Chains A and B, each alone.
Chain A
Protein backbone atom coordinates (compact mmCIF):
# COMPACT_ATOMS: atom_id res chain seq x y z
CA UNK A 1 0.00 0.00 0.00
CA UNK A 2 1.06 3.52 -0.70
CA UNK A 3 2.88 5.27 2.10
CA UNK A 4 0.88 8.47 1.96
CA UNK A 5 -0.12 10.17 5.23
CA UNK A 6 -3.77 9.72 6.07
CA UNK A 7 -4.31 13.51 6.12
CA UNK A 8 -3.18 13.75 2.50
CA UNK A 9 -5.51 10.95 1.47
CA UNK A 10 -8.34 12.72 3.29
CA UNK A 11 -7.47 16.01 1.62
CA UNK A 12 -7.53 14.39 -1.81
CA UNK A 13 -10.85 12.68 -1.13
CA UNK A 14 -12.38 16.00 -0.11
CA UNK A 15 -11.10 17.59 -3.29
CA UNK A 16 -12.53 14.73 -5.36
CA UNK A 17 -15.91 15.32 -3.76
CA UNK A 18 -15.76 19.03 -4.58
CA UNK A 19 -14.83 18.11 -8.16
CA UNK A 20 -17.81 15.74 -8.36
CA UNK A 21 -20.10 18.51 -7.10
CA UNK A 22 -18.70 20.85 -9.76
CA UNK A 23 -19.30 18.17 -12.40
CA UNK A 24 -22.98 17.59 -11.69
CA UNK A 25 -23.64 21.31 -11.20
CA UNK A 26 -21.81 22.26 -14.40
CA UNK A 27 -23.59 19.68 -16.53
CA UNK A 28 -26.96 20.39 -15.00
CA UNK A 29 -26.63 24.15 -15.58
CA UNK A 30 -25.48 23.60 -19.14
CA UNK A 31 -28.11 21.00 -19.96
CA UNK A 32 -25.39 19.12 -21.81
CA UNK A 33 -22.36 16.99 -21.00
CA UNK A 34 -21.25 13.57 -19.87
CA UNK A 35 -21.77 13.04 -16.14
CA UNK A 36 -21.16 9.28 -16.01
CA UNK A 37 -17.61 9.27 -17.36
CA UNK A 38 -16.73 12.55 -15.64
CA UNK A 39 -17.69 11.15 -12.24
CA UNK A 40 -15.84 7.89 -12.85
CA UNK A 41 -12.58 9.70 -13.62
CA UNK A 42 -12.75 12.22 -10.76
CA UNK A 43 -10.51 10.37 -8.29
CA UNK A 44 -7.86 9.71 -10.93
CA UNK A 45 -7.80 13.36 -12.00
CA UNK A 46 -7.62 14.45 -8.38
CA UNK A 47 -4.61 12.24 -7.75
CA UNK A 48 -2.85 13.52 -10.87
CA UNK A 49 -3.53 17.23 -10.47
CA UNK A 50 -3.26 17.51 -6.69
CA UNK A 51 -0.52 15.06 -5.85
CA UNK A 52 1.35 13.45 -8.73
CA UNK A 53 1.97 15.84 -11.59
CA UNK A 54 4.50 18.65 -11.61
CA UNK A 55 2.38 21.56 -12.75
CA UNK A 56 1.99 25.24 -11.96
CA UNK A 57 -1.47 26.75 -12.49
CA UNK A 58 0.13 30.20 -12.50
CA UNK A 59 2.32 29.15 -15.43
CA UNK A 60 0.21 26.74 -17.48
CA UNK A 61 2.79 26.88 -20.32
CA UNK A 62 5.80 26.14 -18.08
CA UNK A 63 7.98 23.88 -20.22
CA UNK A 64 9.03 21.67 -17.32
CA UNK A 65 5.49 20.59 -16.52
CA UNK A 66 4.19 17.06 -16.78
CA UNK A 67 1.51 16.57 -19.42
CA UNK A 68 -1.98 15.18 -19.09
CA UNK A 69 -4.01 14.21 -22.15
CA UNK A 70 -7.70 13.48 -21.77
CA UNK A 71 -8.03 11.05 -24.65
CA UNK A 72 -11.62 10.34 -23.60
CA UNK A 73 -12.49 13.94 -24.43
CA UNK A 74 -16.14 13.60 -23.42
CA UNK A 75 -14.90 13.57 -19.84
CA UNK A 76 -14.32 17.31 -20.29
CA UNK A 77 -16.57 18.36 -17.41
CA UNK A 78 -14.39 16.30 -15.08
CA UNK A 79 -11.22 17.87 -16.43
CA UNK A 80 -12.62 21.41 -16.19
CA UNK A 81 -13.82 20.85 -12.64
CA UNK A 82 -10.33 19.63 -11.74
CA UNK A 83 -8.55 22.51 -13.48
CA UNK A 84 -10.85 25.06 -11.85
CA UNK A 85 -10.40 23.51 -8.41
CA UNK A 86 -6.63 23.50 -8.97
CA UNK A 87 -6.65 27.20 -9.83
CA UNK A 88 -6.18 27.28 -13.60
CA UNK A 89 -9.29 29.45 -13.93
CA UNK A 90 -12.06 30.68 -11.63
CA UNK A 91 -14.64 28.00 -10.74
CA UNK A 92 -17.42 30.49 -11.62
CA UNK A 93 -16.50 30.02 -15.25
CA UNK A 94 -17.72 26.41 -15.07
CA UNK A 95 -21.20 27.93 -15.49
CA UNK A 96 -20.33 28.77 -19.11
CA UNK A 97 -19.73 25.12 -20.04
CA UNK A 98 -21.13 24.29 -23.47
CA UNK A 99 -22.44 27.80 -24.13
CA UNK A 100 -21.64 29.93 -27.15
CA UNK A 101 -18.33 31.82 -26.80
CA UNK A 102 -17.31 29.69 -23.81
CA UNK A 103 -13.74 28.54 -23.23
CA UNK A 104 -15.27 25.36 -21.86
CA UNK A 105 -16.22 23.38 -24.92
CA UNK A 106 -18.12 20.12 -24.45
CA UNK A 107 -14.97 18.45 -25.79
CA UNK A 108 -11.72 20.19 -24.77
CA UNK A 109 -10.15 22.89 -26.95
CA UNK A 110 -6.48 23.38 -26.10
CA UNK A 111 -6.41 26.88 -27.55
CA UNK A 112 -9.14 28.25 -25.33
CA UNK A 113 -8.51 27.08 -21.82
CA UNK A 114 -5.23 27.17 -19.88
CA UNK A 115 -4.30 23.73 -18.63
CA UNK A 116 -5.87 21.84 -21.54
CA UNK A 117 -2.91 20.28 -23.34
CA UNK A 118 -4.60 18.75 -26.37
CA UNK A 119 -7.88 19.14 -28.23
CA UNK A 120 -9.63 15.81 -27.87
CA UNK A 121 -12.96 14.13 -28.27
CA UNK A 122 -12.37 12.15 -31.45
CA UNK A 123 -11.75 8.90 -29.61
CA UNK A 124 -8.48 7.03 -29.88
CA UNK A 125 -6.46 10.07 -30.85
CA UNK A 126 -5.27 11.40 -27.51
CA UNK A 127 -3.10 8.43 -26.68
CA UNK A 128 -1.13 8.89 -29.90
CA UNK A 129 -0.59 12.57 -29.15
CA UNK A 130 0.50 11.68 -25.62
CA UNK A 131 2.94 9.15 -27.07
CA UNK A 132 4.38 11.84 -29.34
CA UNK A 133 4.83 14.14 -26.35
CA UNK A 134 6.62 11.41 -24.42
CA UNK A 135 8.93 10.61 -27.36
CA UNK A 136 9.78 14.29 -27.83
CA UNK A 137 10.52 14.74 -24.12
CA UNK A 138 12.78 11.70 -24.16
CA UNK A 139 14.58 12.96 -27.26
CA UNK A 140 15.30 16.20 -25.43
CA UNK A 141 16.48 14.36 -22.34
CA UNK A 142 13.74 15.90 -20.23
CA UNK A 143 12.24 14.03 -17.30
CA UNK A 144 8.71 15.05 -18.31
CA UNK A 145 6.09 12.44 -17.62
CA UNK A 146 3.04 12.17 -19.83
CA UNK A 147 -0.25 10.83 -18.51
CA UNK A 148 -3.13 9.86 -20.72
CA UNK A 149 -6.62 8.87 -19.66
CA UNK A 150 -8.48 6.60 -22.04
CA UNK A 151 -11.96 5.12 -21.85
CA UNK A 152 -13.00 1.50 -22.14
CA UNK A 153 -15.44 2.25 -24.95
CA UNK A 154 -12.65 4.26 -26.53
CA UNK A 155 -10.50 1.13 -26.44
CA UNK A 156 -12.66 -0.21 -29.25
CA UNK A 157 -10.87 2.23 -31.57
CA UNK A 158 -8.07 0.60 -33.55
CA UNK A 159 -5.84 3.63 -33.10
CA UNK A 160 -5.49 2.88 -29.38
CA UNK A 161 -3.82 -0.41 -30.27
CA UNK A 162 -1.62 1.19 -32.92
CA UNK A 163 -0.37 3.52 -30.21
CA UNK A 164 -0.01 0.60 -27.82
CA UNK A 165 2.30 -1.36 -30.12
CA UNK A 166 4.35 1.68 -31.08
CA UNK A 167 4.83 2.83 -27.47
CA UNK A 168 5.99 -0.61 -26.40
CA UNK A 169 8.23 -1.05 -29.45
CA UNK A 170 9.98 2.22 -28.67
CA UNK A 171 10.13 1.41 -24.93
CA UNK A 172 8.47 4.68 -24.00
CA UNK A 173 8.60 4.50 -20.21
CA UNK A 174 7.74 8.14 -19.52
CA UNK A 175 4.21 7.52 -20.76
CA UNK A 176 1.56 6.28 -18.35
CA UNK A 177 -1.86 5.45 -19.70
CA UNK A 178 -4.79 5.11 -17.35
CA UNK A 179 -7.87 3.20 -18.38
CA UNK A 180 -11.09 4.47 -16.83
CA UNK A 181 -12.63 1.02 -16.86
CA UNK A 182 -16.19 1.87 -15.88
CA UNK A 183 -17.74 -0.80 -18.08
CA UNK A 184 -20.48 1.35 -19.57
CA UNK A 185 -20.72 3.26 -22.81
CA UNK A 186 -23.44 5.29 -24.53
CA UNK A 187 -25.60 2.42 -25.74
CA UNK A 188 -25.10 0.05 -22.84
CA UNK A 189 -22.58 -2.12 -21.02
CA UNK A 190 -19.25 -2.41 -22.80
CA UNK A 191 -19.44 -6.21 -22.62
CA UNK A 192 -22.65 -6.08 -24.69
CA UNK A 193 -21.67 -3.35 -27.17
CA UNK A 194 -18.21 -4.68 -27.96
CA UNK A 195 -16.32 -6.65 -25.37
CA UNK A 196 -12.89 -5.23 -24.56
CA UNK A 197 -12.07 -7.84 -21.89
CA UNK A 198 -9.66 -9.36 -21.14
CA UNK A 199 -8.26 -5.87 -21.43
CA UNK A 200 -5.37 -6.32 -18.99
CA UNK A 201 -4.22 -9.39 -20.92
CA UNK A 202 -4.39 -7.42 -24.14
CA UNK A 203 -2.13 -4.68 -22.81
CA UNK A 204 0.24 -7.30 -21.41
CA UNK A 205 0.32 -8.96 -24.82
CA UNK A 206 1.28 -5.57 -26.28
CA UNK A 207 4.28 -5.57 -23.90
CA UNK A 208 3.01 -2.94 -21.52
CA UNK A 209 3.48 -3.02 -17.79
CA UNK A 210 -0.02 -3.44 -16.38
CA UNK A 211 -1.21 -2.39 -12.92
CA UNK A 212 -4.80 -3.11 -11.94
CA UNK A 213 -6.44 -1.06 -9.23
CA UNK A 214 -9.70 0.13 -7.75
CA UNK A 215 -9.94 3.50 -9.49
CA UNK A 216 -11.79 5.04 -6.58
CA UNK A 217 -9.29 4.04 -3.91
CA UNK A 218 -7.04 7.07 -3.59
CA UNK A 219 -4.25 5.12 -1.95
CA UNK A 220 -4.26 2.56 -4.77
CA UNK A 221 -4.29 5.29 -7.43
CA UNK A 222 -1.28 7.04 -5.90
CA UNK A 223 0.51 3.74 -5.46
CA UNK A 224 -0.01 2.75 -9.09
CA UNK A 225 1.07 6.11 -10.49
CA UNK A 226 4.16 6.08 -8.31
CA UNK A 227 4.99 2.50 -9.28
CA UNK A 228 4.65 3.45 -12.96
CA UNK A 229 7.36 6.08 -12.53
CA UNK A 230 9.79 3.40 -11.47
CA UNK A 231 9.18 1.09 -14.44
CA UNK A 232 11.94 1.36 -17.02
CA UNK A 233 12.00 0.18 -20.61
CA UNK A 234 8.27 -0.07 -21.21
CA UNK A 235 5.13 1.97 -20.85
CA UNK A 236 2.68 1.37 -18.03
CA UNK A 237 -1.07 1.24 -18.12
CA UNK A 238 -3.04 1.59 -14.93
CA UNK A 239 -6.29 -0.29 -15.38
CA UNK A 240 -8.53 1.57 -13.01
CA UNK A 241 -11.72 -0.32 -12.25
CA UNK A 242 -14.26 2.43 -11.79
CA UNK A 243 -17.99 2.96 -11.55
CA UNK A 244 -19.71 5.05 -14.15
CA UNK A 245 -21.48 7.91 -12.37
CA UNK A 246 -19.57 7.18 -9.15
CA UNK A 247 -20.94 8.98 -6.10
CA UNK A 248 -24.48 9.56 -7.38
CA UNK A 249 -26.54 6.44 -6.72
CA UNK A 250 -29.07 6.90 -9.49
CA UNK A 251 -26.31 7.44 -12.09
CA UNK A 252 -24.02 4.62 -11.01
CA UNK A 253 -23.55 1.97 -13.68
CA UNK A 254 -26.26 3.46 -15.87
CA UNK A 255 -25.60 4.05 -19.56
CA UNK A 256 -28.53 6.48 -19.56
CA UNK A 257 -26.26 8.91 -17.69
CA UNK A 258 -23.43 8.67 -20.21
CA UNK A 259 -24.48 11.88 -21.91
CA UNK A 260 -27.52 13.24 -20.10
CA UNK A 261 -27.74 16.33 -17.91
CA UNK A 262 -29.51 16.08 -14.55
CA UNK A 263 -32.50 18.39 -14.08
CA UNK A 264 -32.85 20.62 -11.01
CA UNK A 265 -34.35 17.97 -8.73
CA UNK A 266 -31.80 15.40 -9.84
CA UNK A 267 -29.02 17.90 -9.26
CA UNK A 268 -30.22 18.61 -5.72
CA UNK A 269 -30.37 14.89 -5.02
CA UNK A 270 -26.90 14.33 -6.52
CA UNK A 271 -25.33 17.15 -4.50
CA UNK A 272 -26.99 15.93 -1.30
CA UNK A 273 -25.65 12.40 -1.88
CA UNK A 274 -22.14 13.59 -2.68
CA UNK A 275 -22.02 15.76 0.41
CA UNK A 276 -23.49 13.02 2.58
CA UNK A 277 -20.91 10.59 1.20
CA UNK A 278 -18.22 13.00 2.18
CA UNK A 279 -19.53 13.22 5.75
CA UNK A 280 -19.79 9.43 6.05
CA UNK A 281 -16.26 8.99 4.74
CA UNK A 282 -14.86 11.37 7.30
CA UNK A 283 -17.13 10.67 10.24
Chain B
Protein backbone atom coordinates (compact mmCIF):
# COMPACT_ATOMS: atom_id res chain seq x y z
CA UNK B 1 0.00 0.00 0.00
CA UNK B 2 1.38 3.40 -0.93
CA UNK B 3 1.74 5.75 2.01
CA UNK B 4 0.49 9.30 2.43
CA UNK B 5 3.05 11.66 0.94
CA UNK B 6 3.10 13.96 3.95
CA UNK B 7 3.95 11.05 6.22
CA UNK B 8 6.77 10.00 3.95
CA UNK B 9 8.04 13.56 3.90
CA UNK B 10 7.90 13.85 7.68
CA UNK B 11 9.76 10.61 8.26
CA UNK B 12 12.36 11.28 5.56
CA UNK B 13 13.17 14.58 7.25
CA UNK B 14 13.73 12.84 10.57
CA UNK B 15 16.11 10.43 8.88
CA UNK B 16 18.00 13.32 7.32
CA UNK B 17 18.03 15.13 10.62
CA UNK B 18 19.89 12.20 12.14
CA UNK B 19 22.51 12.33 9.42
CA UNK B 20 22.92 16.08 9.18
CA UNK B 21 22.94 18.15 12.38
CA UNK B 22 22.60 21.33 10.33
CA UNK B 23 19.07 20.51 9.23
CA UNK B 24 16.54 22.62 11.10
CA UNK B 25 12.78 22.93 10.71
CA UNK B 26 10.54 25.97 10.92
CA UNK B 27 6.81 25.78 11.43
CA UNK B 28 3.92 28.24 11.29
CA UNK B 29 1.56 26.24 13.51
CA UNK B 30 0.85 23.51 10.96
CA UNK B 31 3.36 20.84 11.99
CA UNK B 32 0.68 18.25 12.71
CA UNK B 33 -0.65 18.72 9.18
CA UNK B 34 2.67 19.00 7.35
CA UNK B 35 4.12 16.19 9.50
CA UNK B 36 6.99 18.43 10.51
CA UNK B 37 5.89 17.28 13.94
CA UNK B 38 7.93 14.10 13.51
CA UNK B 39 11.04 16.24 13.26
CA UNK B 40 9.88 18.36 16.20
CA UNK B 41 9.55 15.25 18.34
CA UNK B 42 12.90 13.81 17.28
CA UNK B 43 14.90 17.05 17.44
CA UNK B 44 13.09 19.58 19.63
CA UNK B 45 16.15 21.84 19.81
CA UNK B 46 16.27 22.08 16.02
CA UNK B 47 12.57 22.74 15.59
CA UNK B 48 11.53 26.38 15.59
CA UNK B 49 7.92 27.34 16.13
CA UNK B 50 7.44 30.65 14.35
CA UNK B 51 3.72 31.06 14.94
CA UNK B 52 1.25 32.07 12.28
CA UNK B 53 3.59 34.60 10.70
CA UNK B 54 4.84 33.19 7.43
CA UNK B 55 6.60 36.27 6.11
CA UNK B 56 8.87 36.47 9.11
CA UNK B 57 9.34 32.71 9.04
CA UNK B 58 10.70 32.84 5.50
CA UNK B 59 13.21 35.54 6.46
CA UNK B 60 14.27 33.69 9.60
CA UNK B 61 14.89 30.60 7.50
CA UNK B 62 17.04 32.67 5.13
CA UNK B 63 19.07 34.03 8.04
CA UNK B 64 19.63 30.56 9.43
CA UNK B 65 20.72 29.34 6.00
CA UNK B 66 23.22 32.19 5.74
CA UNK B 67 24.74 30.87 8.99
CA UNK B 68 25.17 27.39 7.51
CA UNK B 69 21.93 25.74 8.52
CA UNK B 70 19.72 23.80 6.11
CA UNK B 71 16.25 25.02 7.05
CA UNK B 72 13.11 23.20 5.97
CA UNK B 73 10.31 25.70 6.29
CA UNK B 74 6.89 24.14 5.95
CA UNK B 75 3.44 25.62 5.61
CA UNK B 76 0.53 25.22 3.23
CA UNK B 77 1.48 25.93 -0.38
CA UNK B 78 -0.84 28.92 -0.53
CA UNK B 79 0.99 30.69 2.28
CA UNK B 80 4.48 29.69 1.18
CA UNK B 81 3.95 31.04 -2.31
CA UNK B 82 1.44 33.84 -2.07
CA UNK B 83 1.58 35.27 1.43
CA UNK B 84 5.36 35.18 1.72
CA UNK B 85 6.10 35.78 -1.96
CA UNK B 86 8.37 38.82 -1.61
CA UNK B 87 10.23 37.22 1.29
CA UNK B 88 10.81 34.14 -0.85
CA UNK B 89 11.97 36.29 -3.77
CA UNK B 90 14.34 38.57 -1.82
CA UNK B 91 15.33 37.03 1.52
CA UNK B 92 15.56 33.51 0.11
CA UNK B 93 15.89 33.96 -3.66
CA UNK B 94 18.11 36.99 -4.01
CA UNK B 95 20.25 35.85 -1.09
CA UNK B 96 20.41 32.39 -2.75
CA UNK B 97 19.83 31.11 0.77
CA UNK B 98 19.90 27.34 1.12
CA UNK B 99 16.27 27.18 2.24
CA UNK B 100 13.92 24.31 1.49
CA UNK B 101 10.38 25.62 1.24
CA UNK B 102 7.74 22.97 1.71
CA UNK B 103 4.38 23.79 0.17
CA UNK B 104 2.01 21.34 1.79
CA UNK B 105 -1.43 20.32 0.54
CA UNK B 106 -0.85 21.86 -2.90
CA UNK B 107 -3.42 22.22 -5.64
CA UNK B 108 -7.02 21.13 -5.58
CA UNK B 109 -6.46 18.12 -3.28
CA UNK B 110 -5.91 20.21 -0.17
CA UNK B 111 -7.46 18.08 2.53
CA UNK B 112 -10.96 19.42 2.01
CA UNK B 113 -10.09 22.92 3.10
CA UNK B 114 -11.61 24.68 0.12
CA UNK B 115 -10.60 27.61 -2.04
CA UNK B 116 -8.51 29.63 0.43
CA UNK B 117 -6.22 26.66 0.98
CA UNK B 118 -5.86 25.43 -2.59
CA UNK B 119 -2.54 26.50 -4.09
CA UNK B 120 -3.30 26.68 -7.80
CA UNK B 121 -0.47 29.05 -8.72
CA UNK B 122 2.35 28.13 -6.35
CA UNK B 123 4.41 26.44 -9.05
CA UNK B 124 3.98 29.44 -11.36
CA UNK B 125 5.14 31.83 -8.64
CA UNK B 126 8.08 29.71 -7.55
CA UNK B 127 9.14 28.91 -11.11
CA UNK B 128 9.42 32.63 -11.86
CA UNK B 129 11.81 33.27 -8.96
CA UNK B 130 15.45 33.12 -10.10
CA UNK B 131 17.45 30.08 -8.93
CA UNK B 132 14.39 28.44 -7.36
CA UNK B 133 14.16 24.70 -7.99
CA UNK B 134 10.61 23.31 -8.02
CA UNK B 135 9.89 19.68 -7.15
CA UNK B 136 6.50 17.95 -7.05
CA UNK B 137 6.93 14.23 -6.25
CA UNK B 138 4.40 11.73 -7.55
CA UNK B 139 4.33 8.96 -4.97
CA UNK B 140 5.75 7.71 -1.70
CA UNK B 141 8.84 6.13 -3.23
CA UNK B 142 9.71 9.29 -5.07
CA UNK B 143 8.93 11.55 -2.10
CA UNK B 144 11.33 9.72 0.20
CA UNK B 145 14.16 10.13 -2.28
CA UNK B 146 13.21 13.64 -3.35
CA UNK B 147 13.43 14.97 0.22
CA UNK B 148 16.94 13.57 0.41
CA UNK B 149 17.95 15.07 -2.94
CA UNK B 150 16.45 18.42 -2.00
CA UNK B 151 18.41 18.47 1.27
CA UNK B 152 21.63 17.59 -0.53
CA UNK B 153 21.19 20.29 -3.16
CA UNK B 154 22.83 23.60 -2.27
CA UNK B 155 20.27 26.31 -2.99
CA UNK B 156 16.64 27.28 -2.59
CA UNK B 157 14.04 24.64 -3.42
CA UNK B 158 10.25 24.60 -3.40
CA UNK B 159 8.99 21.13 -2.57
CA UNK B 160 5.32 20.32 -2.99
CA UNK B 161 4.11 17.84 -0.41
CA UNK B 162 0.70 16.41 -1.14
CA UNK B 163 -1.36 15.36 1.85
CA UNK B 164 -2.61 11.91 0.85
CA UNK B 165 -1.46 8.63 -0.67
CA UNK B 166 -1.50 8.21 -4.43
CA UNK B 167 -0.93 5.13 -6.59
CA UNK B 168 2.72 4.31 -6.99
CA UNK B 169 4.17 5.08 -10.41
CA UNK B 170 7.86 4.82 -9.62
CA UNK B 171 9.49 1.66 -10.94
CA UNK B 172 11.31 -0.92 -8.80
CA UNK B 173 14.77 0.22 -7.71
CA UNK B 174 13.87 3.80 -8.60
CA UNK B 175 16.60 6.41 -8.29
CA UNK B 176 15.32 9.98 -8.09
CA UNK B 177 17.54 12.56 -9.71
CA UNK B 178 16.90 16.29 -9.42
CA UNK B 179 16.06 17.65 -12.88
CA UNK B 180 15.41 14.28 -14.47
CA UNK B 181 12.02 13.20 -15.79
CA UNK B 182 11.18 9.53 -15.68
CA UNK B 183 9.39 7.47 -18.29
CA UNK B 184 7.06 5.40 -16.13
CA UNK B 185 5.23 3.81 -19.07
CA UNK B 186 6.31 3.61 -22.67
CA UNK B 187 4.11 4.36 -25.62
CA UNK B 188 4.31 5.45 -29.23
CA UNK B 189 1.25 7.56 -30.07
CA UNK B 190 1.25 10.29 -27.49
CA UNK B 191 2.99 11.29 -24.25
CA UNK B 192 1.09 12.11 -21.10
CA UNK B 193 3.31 14.39 -19.02
CA UNK B 194 2.37 14.50 -15.36
CA UNK B 195 3.81 16.11 -12.26
CA UNK B 196 3.07 15.31 -8.64
CA UNK B 197 0.03 13.18 -7.94
CA UNK B 198 -1.14 13.75 -11.52
CA UNK B 199 1.49 11.28 -12.74
CA UNK B 200 -0.63 8.42 -11.40
CA UNK B 201 -3.72 9.96 -12.99
CA UNK B 202 -1.78 9.88 -16.27
CA UNK B 203 -1.00 6.19 -15.84
CA UNK B 204 -4.68 5.49 -15.34
CA UNK B 205 -5.48 7.60 -18.41
CA UNK B 206 -2.92 5.59 -20.40
CA UNK B 207 -4.78 2.45 -19.44
CA UNK B 208 -8.06 3.91 -20.65
CA UNK B 209 -6.39 4.87 -23.92
CA UNK B 210 -4.77 1.45 -24.26
CA UNK B 211 -8.22 -0.12 -24.24
CA UNK B 212 -8.99 2.08 -27.25
CA UNK B 213 -5.83 0.98 -29.03
CA UNK B 214 -3.89 4.16 -28.27
CA UNK B 215 -0.37 3.65 -27.03
CA UNK B 216 0.43 6.42 -24.54
CA UNK B 217 3.78 7.09 -22.93
CA UNK B 218 3.74 8.52 -19.42
CA UNK B 219 6.47 10.89 -18.35
CA UNK B 220 6.70 11.76 -14.66
CA UNK B 221 8.18 15.23 -14.34
CA UNK B 222 8.80 15.65 -10.62
CA UNK B 223 11.29 18.47 -11.14
CA UNK B 224 9.21 21.15 -12.82
CA UNK B 225 12.17 23.54 -12.69
CA UNK B 226 14.74 23.06 -14.10
CA UNK B 227 12.67 20.97 -16.45
CA UNK B 228 14.14 17.97 -18.26
CA UNK B 229 14.27 19.48 -21.73
CA UNK B 230 15.70 16.37 -23.37
CA UNK B 231 12.99 14.06 -22.06
CA UNK B 232 10.29 16.39 -23.41
CA UNK B 233 12.00 16.83 -26.77
CA UNK B 234 12.37 13.05 -27.02
CA UNK B 235 8.69 12.62 -26.20
CA UNK B 236 7.72 15.14 -28.87
CA UNK B 237 9.96 13.58 -31.50
CA UNK B 238 9.12 9.98 -30.67
CA UNK B 239 5.38 10.27 -29.99
CA UNK B 240 4.49 13.48 -31.82
CA UNK B 241 1.86 14.72 -29.37
CA UNK B 242 1.62 15.56 -25.69
CA UNK B 243 -0.84 16.19 -22.91
CA UNK B 244 0.32 17.79 -19.69
CA UNK B 245 -1.51 17.09 -16.45
CA UNK B 246 -0.95 19.09 -13.29
CA UNK B 247 -2.59 19.69 -9.94
CA UNK B 248 -2.26 23.43 -10.58
CA UNK B 249 -3.51 26.22 -12.78
CA UNK B 250 -2.89 25.77 -16.50
CA UNK B 251 -1.04 29.09 -16.30
CA UNK B 252 2.61 29.06 -15.37
CA UNK B 253 3.04 25.50 -14.15
CA UNK B 254 4.00 22.23 -15.81
CA UNK B 255 1.84 22.85 -18.89
CA UNK B 256 3.48 26.19 -19.49
CA UNK B 257 6.95 24.77 -18.87
CA UNK B 258 6.39 21.97 -21.38
CA UNK B 259 4.88 24.37 -23.92
CA UNK B 260 7.95 26.58 -23.58
CA UNK B 261 10.23 23.64 -24.32
CA UNK B 262 8.16 22.47 -27.28
CA UNK B 263 7.88 25.93 -28.81
CA UNK B 264 11.62 26.47 -28.66
CA UNK B 265 12.89 22.98 -29.44
CA UNK B 266 10.33 20.62 -30.94
CA UNK B 267 6.92 22.03 -31.82
CA UNK B 268 4.21 19.39 -31.47
CA UNK B 269 0.49 19.41 -30.77
CA UNK B 270 -0.26 19.50 -27.05
CA UNK B 271 -3.04 20.12 -24.57
CA UNK B 272 -2.99 21.12 -20.94
CA UNK B 273 -4.99 19.45 -18.22
CA UNK B 274 -5.13 21.56 -15.08
CA UNK B 275 -7.21 24.07 -13.18
CA UNK B 276 -8.79 26.35 -15.74
CA UNK B 277 -8.49 29.83 -14.29
CA UNK B 278 -10.80 29.44 -11.32
CA UNK B 279 -10.84 29.00 -7.56
CA UNK B 280 -11.70 25.64 -6.06
CA UNK B 281 -14.05 24.52 -3.31
CA UNK B 282 -14.58 21.77 -0.74
CA UNK B 283 -15.06 18.12 -1.58
CA UNK B 284 -13.30 14.78 -1.57
CA UNK B 285 -10.22 14.40 -3.72
CA UNK B 286 -12.06 12.27 -6.24
CA UNK B 287 -15.00 14.68 -6.41
CA UNK B 288 -12.68 17.62 -6.94
CA UNK B 289 -10.57 15.88 -9.59
CA UNK B 290 -13.76 14.98 -11.45
CA UNK B 291 -15.39 18.40 -11.16
CA UNK B 292 -12.29 20.42 -12.00
CA UNK B 293 -11.24 18.35 -14.98
CA UNK B 294 -8.24 16.52 -13.52
CA UNK B 295 -9.48 12.93 -13.65
CA UNK B 296 -7.95 10.18 -15.81
CA UNK B 297 -11.04 10.47 -18.03
CA UNK B 298 -10.27 14.14 -18.61
CA UNK B 299 -6.66 13.37 -19.46
CA UNK B 300 -7.77 10.63 -21.87
CA UNK B 301 -10.23 13.01 -23.50
CA UNK B 302 -7.53 15.64 -23.91
CA UNK B 303 -5.33 12.96 -25.50
CA UNK B 304 -7.99 12.07 -28.04
CA UNK B 305 -8.39 15.73 -28.97
CA UNK B 306 -4.66 16.19 -29.43
CA UNK B 307 -4.35 13.00 -31.42
CA UNK B 308 -7.00 14.32 -33.82
CA UNK B 309 -4.79 17.37 -34.35
CA UNK B 310 -1.73 15.22 -34.77
CA UNK B 311 -3.24 14.27 -38.14
CA UNK B 312 -1.50 11.94 -40.51
CA UNK B 313 1.24 11.08 -38.04
CA UNK B 314 -1.30 9.52 -35.68
CA UNK B 315 -1.18 5.80 -35.40
CA UNK B 316 -4.41 5.51 -33.50
CA UNK B 317 -7.37 3.78 -34.98
A interface residues (Cβ-Cβ under 8 A, vs B): 109-111, 117-122, 124-137, 139-140, 158-159, 162-163, 165-166, 169-170
Contact = CB atoms under 8 A, between A and B. Distances in A.
B51 interface: yes
A109 B50 CA distance: 27
A162 B63 CA distance: 15
Contacts of A163: 56, 59-60
Interface stretch (B91-99, B176-184, B209-217, B273-281): B91-99
Contacts of B56: 128, 131, 159, 162-163, 166
Given A122-B86, A127-B59, 5 more contacts: A118-B63, A118-B95, A125-B86, A125-B91, A158-B55
Nearest to A119: B94
Contact of B87 (A118, A125, A137): A125
A158 to B, nearest CB: 7
Interface of A is mostly: helix
Interface stretch (B11-19, B65-73, B133-141, B250-258): B65-73
Given A128-B58, A163-B59, A166-B50, A136 B90 contact: no
Contacts of A130: 63
Given A110-B95, A125-B87, A132 B55 contact: no
B53 A129 contact: no
B74 to A, nearest CB: 15
A121 B89 CA distance: 12
Contact of B59 (A109, A125, A139): A125
A136 B69 contact: yes
Interface residues of B, number: 31
B86 to A, nearest CB: 5
Contact of B67 (A122, A127, A128, A137): A137
B17 to A, nearest CB: 13
Contacts of A137: 67
B172 interface: no
B51 A128 contact: no
A195 B255 CA distance: 47
B24 interface: yes
A54 to B, nearest CB: 15
Given A111-B96, A119-B94, A122-B86, A135 B63 contact: yes
A222 to B, nearest CB: 26
B51 to A, nearest CB: 6
Contact of B64 (A119, A121, A135, A169): A135
A129 B96 CA distance: 13
B48 A122 contact: no
A139 B91 contact: no
Contacts of A125: 55, 59, 86-87, 90-91
B83 to A, nearest CB: 11
Contacts of B235: none
B23 to A, nearest CB: 11
A175 to B, nearest CB: 10
A188 to B, nearest CB: 25
A132 B56 CA distance: 9
B71 to A, nearest CB: 8
B43 to A, nearest CB: 11
B28 to A, nearest CB: 10
A122 B65 CA distance: 19
Contacts of A127: 59
B264 interface: no
Contact of A128 (B60, B71, B89, B96): B60
B129 to A, nearest CB: 13
B108 interface: no
A134 B59 CA distance: 12
Contacts of A120: 90
Contacts of A170: 48
Given A139-B46, A165-B53, A170-B48, A132 B96 contact: no
B66 A128 contact: no
B69 to A, nearest CB: 5
Contacts of B63: 118, 128-136
A129 B46 contact: no
A167 to B, nearest CB: 9
B51 A139 contact: no
7 contacts: A117-B66, A127-B59, A132-B60, A133-B64, A134-B63, A135-B64, A139-B69
Nearest to A63: B68
A165 B45 CA distance: 19
A131 B94 CA distance: 18
Given A133-B64, A133-B67, A159 B95 contact: no
A109 B65 CA distance: 17
B51 A133 contact: no
B91 A128 contact: yes
B51 A169 contact: yes
A139 B45 contact: yes
Contacts of B146: none
A159 B64 contact: no
B144 interface: no
Contact of A129 (B45, B48, B89, B91): B91
Given A137-B67, A139-B24, A159-B87, A132 B62 contact: yes
Contacts of A121: 90
B21 to A, nearest CB: 10
A136 B25 CA distance: 12
Contacts of B227: none
